[in-house]
């Protein structure tokens, strides 16, 4: 009874979140029955069994984890798959050269024989997910065992579950994932397909329209899609690439609705958000938003400025660094929105208020002291952790050092060292431009020398810095003497050269940094993180006990989730309001032949001039709670039909990985009708539409223009 008094007070004081705040949440499909009532109340017309079922084909069977960190969806009985342009980007880039610049010009297979294989690309279908908490903890006794023993029980039981799960069936992969910081464990079983071919990609002037200027922003006009096809063996099973593999026939694929969306419409996102931390303490939020984000932003600004200078000057360099630049820029911009969003929401203060109440409530319970434990370990960890973040953003980002490490490793461990080194060298030198790496080295290592506390810097680095007098002098020697700047020399290396390679200045420098990271930083960071992880298990349980009526969703971990919400505009700032739909008219407004990222294809200009497409929707906003990894996710309407492809969030709402604000958090989706328009009228690849299924009656051939 006593415990409920502060609770009531908290609710009145507004410190606690009301149960299931508007549209927040990334829900486990297997538990969607907990939410289905709310979803239906908000307009959804299907059932929990339609979303996820182990007995019959359900929507989940049309969704895949695409590569290592995106989502994709099936849209035909012949394995046709949609995802984002930026998710297919590195594959499109690998097929590109000045002669065949698919990044710039787009790529359209004109029949199945023209589809291009992609080494290393896989897609994973979730076969099933299962709560295995009881099995994973079998044999664990809280009274007699410590955490280490618990871990080994969890590990052994988990390994057994995984072995059993993959025992029968081709291409099966399984994992046991801790949810709620190890308060629950789920088994995920996937079928992994590895013959995935590129079918189509629009030119970057559509697929990446607006580039990094528009990235994370609204109003948005990016046609961020690419199209792939999954191939299988003759029995429809996963198989390595083989020319005679056949298109995969999925259990389920999405029908496409061309009816469009309107403000207020129900939307559901089915995909694989990568990582969120909604339940962390104020200390962690403060560290992220006030220290980590700003420091990393500054380091990346240095790199981006250097890349831009050379990319603007030379189209070949622009291709070489397109993918690298996009990924450096992407997090750089997200962190800015995140830090600002957290400051605007006053998340640190809100968490502190929550923690004061929690502490009071927790007195005399099993949760007493857990916040102190967390605070203590954060204080120990953070200086070392920050140094490790500096390492990742500086020495570890120098490409020459990355190559040196990879080659040294290949020579000492690969089965066929020369072949492995040859492959590494080919991939590296295709996309490496020495002046960028050279200048980045100086800028990054100078920042490292200046900003990382001297007592935490590696002794080796401090010594050579003293000896050579400046970072630039270290750089001169490194880039002047290392064999790794010379493609021919690298390709000629054999195992017999291992000792010489080890003595190379690039290997020595990278080894020194790595040793420092592993031996000086990681022991502290690792031990602290371990304590933090354990404390969070308790704190998470405590938060659930503290707010017994709230339905919690587990933090994202790249497993399949359902988010639902509705189409909605937002006000980014005082005096401004953004409606939720953008149209082709806006593309024409932004069109500018003098700016690379806004220079649209002439074909689009011509089509526009013919009239009738200015109201064609391009992108739309909704309130779905998404994260990195949700890119490429299907956006479904109330009937479970495909209306869009998710690809981004608005900048003012990127703190949703830590705190969701219904006023600012919006996901950005491509309107599926713009995809259809581009495929048919820009790509001339209307043959792809013939295998899709539409909810409206099929337009007569040749009459599709009026989409
Ligand atoms: N912001 C989106 C996401 O996080 C899209 C990134 C790709 N686009 C870019 N211009 N870098 O992945
Ligand atoms: N663009 C992100 C992705 O690639 C999605 C997001 O962060 O909202 O997954």
* pLDDT of residue 75 exceeding 50: yes
Tens of pLDDT, residue by residue over 225-272, are: 999 999 999 999 999 999 999 999 999 999 999 999 999 999 999 999
Quick count: other Cβ atoms within 10 Å of Cβ 150? Answer: 18
> Cis omega before residue 219 (within 30°)?
yes
Angle between helices 347-362 and 370-393 (to 10 degrees): 150
Tokens at 648, concatenated:
């981004």
Is 226 catalytic? The answer is no
Tens of pLDDT, residue by residue over 645-658, are: 999 999 999 999 99
pLDDT bracket for residue 287 (50, 70, 90): very high
SS (H, E, C) 116-129: EECCCCCEEEEEEE
Radius of gyration of the chain (CA): 26
Ligand 2 pocket at CB < 6 A:
70, 626-631, 647-649
* pLDDT of residue 1 exceeding 50: no
Higher pLDDT, 707 or 155: 155
DSSP string of 196-216, one letter each residue: EEEEEE--HHHHTTTHHHHTT
Which of the following is catalytic: 631, 633, 656, 669?
631
- Residue whose CA lies nearest to ligand 2 atom number 7: 628
Instruction: Find the mean pLDDT for residues 131-160.
Output: 96
The 8 Å CB, 24+ separation contacts for 417-423 are 417/493, 417/494, 417/495, 418/493, 418/494, 418/495, 421/490, 421/491, 421/493, 422/491
Name the least confident of 435-444, 616-625, 696-705.
Answer: 696-705
* pLDDT of residue 5 exceeding 60: no
Measured distance CA(663)–CA(468) in Å, rounded = 54
pTM of the predicted model over 0.95: no
| Dihedral angle computed from the Cα positions of residues 193, 199, 204 and 207, in that order, rounded to the nearest 10 degrees | -70
pLDDT bracket for residue 323 (50, 70, 90): confident
Which of the following is catalytic: 23, 214, 224, 671?
224
Which of the following is catalytic: 86, 221, 566, 681?
86
* Neighbour-count burial of 573, counting CB atoms closer than 10 A to its CB (0-12 exposed, 13-18 middle, 19+ buried): exposed
Q: Comparing C-alpha atoms, which of 80, 44, 79 is closest to residue 624? A: 44
Task: Supply the pLDDT for residue 21.
Answer: 57
pLDDT bracket for residue 2 (50, 70, 90): very low
Task: Supply the pLDDT for residue 596.
Answer: 87
Q: What are phi and psi of 129, to 5 degrees?
A: -130, 150
Instruction: Find the mean pLDDT for residues 106-113.
Output: 98
Tens of pLDDT, residue by residue over 538-588, are: 999 999 999 999 999 999 999 999 999 999 999 999 999 999 999 999 999
Q: Which residue shows structure tokens 């120990």?
A: 380
Residue 82, helix vs strand vs coil? strand
Atom of ligand 1 nearest to the CA of 330: 11
Q: Are strands 561-566 and 184-193 parallel, antiparallel or unpaired?
A: unpaired
Q: What is the mean pLDDT of the chain?
A: 95
pLDDT bracket for residue 40 (50, 70, 90): very high
Tens of pLDDT, residue by residue over 376-398, are: 999 999 999 999 999 999 999 99
Tens of pLDDT, residue by residue over 461-514, are: 999 999 999 999 999 999 999 999 999 999 999 999 999 999 999 999 999 999
Gap from CA of 86 to ligand 1 centroid (Å): 6
Tokens at 1, concatenated:
């009874």
Instruction: Find the mean pLDDT for residues 145-152.
Output: 93
Task: Supply the pLDDT for residue 707.
Answer: 41
pLDDT bracket for residue 17 (50, 70, 90): low
Residue 326, helix vs strand vs coil? helix
Cα–Cα distances (Å) from 326 to 101, 303, 308, 331, 690, in that order, read: 17, 12, 11, 9, 33
Gap from CA of 273 to ligand 2 centroid (Å): 8
Is 105 catalytic? The answer is no
Atom of ligand 1 nearest to the CA of 628: 4
Residue 675, helix vs strand vs coil? helix
pLDDT bracket for residue 16 (50, 70, 90): low
Ligand 1 pocket at CB < 6 A:
86, 208, 211-212, 215-216, 326, 329-330, 628, 631, 648
Atom of ligand 2 nearest to the CA of 668: 8
Residue 521 makes CB contacts below 8 A (sequence gap 6+) with: 384, 385, 387, 388, 391, 456
């Amino acid at each position: 009874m006593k415990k409920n008094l502060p609770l009531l007070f908290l609710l009145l004081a507004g410190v606690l979140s009301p149960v299931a705040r508007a549209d927040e949440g990334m829900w486990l499909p297997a538990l969607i029955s907990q939410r289905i009532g709310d979803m239906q109340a908000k307009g959804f017309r299907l059932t929990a069994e339609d979303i996820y079922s182990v007995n019959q084909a359900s929507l989940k069977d049309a969704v895949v984890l695409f590569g290592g960190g995106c989502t994709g969806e099936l849209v035909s009985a012949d394995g046709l798959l949609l995802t984002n342009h930026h998710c297919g980007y590195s594959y499109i880039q690998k097929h590109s050269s000045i002669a065949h610049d698919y990044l710039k010009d787009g790529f359209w297979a004109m029949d199945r024989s023209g589809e291009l294989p992609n080494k290393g690309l896989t897609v994973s279908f979730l076969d099933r997910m299962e709560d295995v908490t009881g099995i994973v903890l079998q044999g664990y006794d809280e009274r007699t065992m410590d955490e280490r023993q618990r871990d080994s029980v969890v590990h052994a039981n988990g390994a057994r579950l995984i072995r059993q799960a993959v025992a029968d069936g081709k291409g099966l992969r399984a994992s046991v994932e801790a949810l709620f910081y190890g308060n629950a464990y789920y088994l995920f079983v996937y079928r992994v397909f590895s013959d995935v071919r590129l079918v189509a990609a629009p030119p970057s002037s559509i697929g990446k329209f607006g580039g990094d200027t528009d990235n994370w922003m609204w109003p948005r006009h990016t046609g961020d899609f690419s199209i792939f096809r999954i191939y299988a063996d003759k029995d429809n099973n996963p198989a390595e690439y083989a020319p005679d593999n056949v298109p995969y026939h999925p259990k389920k694929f999405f029908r496409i609705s061309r009816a469009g969306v309107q403000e207020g419409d129900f939307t559901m996102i089915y995909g694989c958000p990568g990582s969120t931390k909604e339940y962390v303490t104020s200390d962690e939020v403060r560290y992220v938003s006030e220290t980590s984000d700003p420091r990393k932003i500054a380091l990346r600004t240095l790199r981006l400025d250097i890349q831009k200078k050379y990319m603007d000057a030379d189209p070949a360099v622009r291709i070489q660094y397109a993918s690298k630049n996009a990924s450096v820029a992407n997090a750089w911009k997200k962190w800015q929105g995140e830090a600002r969003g957290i400051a605007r929401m006053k998340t640190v203060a809100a968490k502190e208020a929550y923690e004061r109440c929690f502490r009071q409530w927790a007195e005399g319970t099993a949760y007493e002291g857990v916040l102190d434990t967390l605070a203590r370990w954060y204080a120990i960890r953070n200086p070392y952790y920050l140094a490790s973040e500096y390492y990742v953003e500086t020495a570890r980002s120098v490409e020459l050092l990355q190559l040196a490490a990879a080659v040294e490793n290949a020579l000492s461990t690969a089965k066929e060292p020369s072949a492995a080194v040859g492959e590494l060298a080919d991939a590296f030198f295709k996309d490496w431009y020495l002046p960028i790496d050279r200048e980045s080295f100086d800028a990054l290592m100078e920042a490292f020398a200046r900003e990382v506390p001297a007592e935490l810097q590696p002794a080796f680095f401090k010594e050579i810095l003293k000896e050579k007098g400046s970072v630039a002098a270290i750089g001169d020697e490194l880039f002047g003497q290392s064999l790794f700047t010379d493609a021919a020399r690298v390709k000629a290396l054999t195992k017999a050269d291992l000792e010489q390679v080890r003595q190379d200045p690039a290997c020595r420098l990278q080894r020194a940094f790595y040793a420092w990271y592993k031996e000086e930083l990681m022991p502290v960071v690792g031990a602290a993180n371990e304590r933090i992880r354990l404390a969070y298990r308790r704190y998470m349980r405590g938060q659930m006990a503290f707010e017994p009526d709230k339905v919690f969703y587990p933090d994202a971990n790249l497993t399949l989730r359902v988010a639902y919400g509705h189409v909605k505009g937002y006000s980014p700032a005082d005096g401004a309001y953004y409606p939720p739909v953008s149209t082709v008219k806006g593309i024409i407004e932004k069109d500018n032949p003098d700016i690379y990222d806004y220079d649209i294809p002439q074909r689009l200009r011509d089509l526009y001039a013919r009239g009738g497409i200015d109201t064609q929707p391009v992108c739309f906003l909704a309130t779905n709670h998404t994260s990195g990894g949700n890119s490429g996710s299907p956006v479904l309407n109330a009937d479970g039909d495909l209306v869009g492809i998710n690809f981004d969030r608005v900048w003012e709402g990127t703190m949703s990985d830590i705190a969701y604000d219904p006023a600012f958090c919006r996901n950005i989706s491509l309107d599926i009708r713009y995809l259809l328009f581009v495929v048919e009228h820009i790509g001339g690849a209307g043959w792809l539409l013939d295998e899709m299924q539409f909810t409206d009656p099929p337009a007569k051939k040749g009459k599709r223009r009026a989409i």
